[in-house]
Amino acid sequence: MCPEERARPPRVTVYGQAGTYSHAAACRLAPDGHYQFIDDFEEALRSLGPDRADLAVLPLENSSAGSVLPVLDNLIKYRQLQIVAELTLPIHHVLAAKPGTRLEDITTVHSHDQALRQTRSFWRAKGWQPVPARSTAGAASHIAQDRLPGYAAICSAFAADLNGLTILARDIQDVAENSTRFVLVAAPPFSYRPQAPAGKGAYTFTVSHESGALLAVLQAFADAGLNLVKLESRPVPQHPFKYRFFVDIDLQAGDLDRALTACQPLCRDFHCLGQYPVFTP
């Protein structure tokens, strides 16, 4: 990642606990940060602000399980925040248990809901019961500290090693090319924005409930030569069966200013979630 111009190391809120995939992403997105761990998506974003955290690292979307919906919803709730960078991180789940535990002893798997969904074929085939946890690292810590006979954690090798667990199986995710997009979120004045060109823009809006309203907005992006790499809808709270749309746009080609000028009169509540560089391992 390109170096950032700053006077002091940033204070970084990381979703989950030490050893999570979010922690691994933070080590790449903000390697010189001072980390604090918060096991709640909304509280992680609420921690940002003057005299508090400068940055937050959260998972946004998994390639097999889809979007992390609470993060999307809270980026709208706290719209003073901006996405300032993105990292795609390969996800390699392991099955880990206390030393001395055998594979045939396992009856229950413990992990974050996303990890359970990403490994469903593995544990269902064995007839094991899933028990959700707040995070993958939290599951590993819980099993390491408590007497839970028959329990194993689905987590990263990093979390297993950190908690002294034995790895019983590796790469147990259903999809071999499993990966997660993590975002680096900042509060004004965005002093810790990475010094790298923006490769993606994220926007959200609503449209009137009439024929062709969404098509007109998408056509404005197409006419400007922009490639939409994602389109998703979410319910609008307190407005039953009305929806907010989220779009990600590749900024490496096309005329963004033309598109935004054309589409904003067609939208309601148009908001930019960020224009930011995209990094890979």
pTM: 0.86
The secondary element (H helix, E strand) that includes residue 113 is helix 113-118
Statement: residue 281 has pLDDT above 80: no
Q: What is the mean pLDDT of the chain?
A: 93
Statement: residue 248 has pLDDT above 60: yes
Lookup result for tokens 């809270």: 74
Question: What is the pairing mode between strands 66-67 and 82-90?
Answer: unpaired
Statement: residue 7 has pLDDT above 90: no
Q: Give pLDDT tens digits for 17-42.
A: 899 899 999 999 999 999 999 989 99
User: Which DSSP symbol is given to 103?
Assistant: G
Contacts of 192 (CB under 8 A, 6+ apart): 4, 6, 10, 30, 54, 55, 84, 186
Integer Cα distance of 213 and 49 in angstroms: 36
- C-alpha to C-alpha distances, 91 to 56, 180, 214, 256, 272, nearest whole angstrom: 20, 7, 34, 32, 28
Average pLDDT in the 33-60 region? 95
Statement: residue 79 has pLDDT above 50: yes
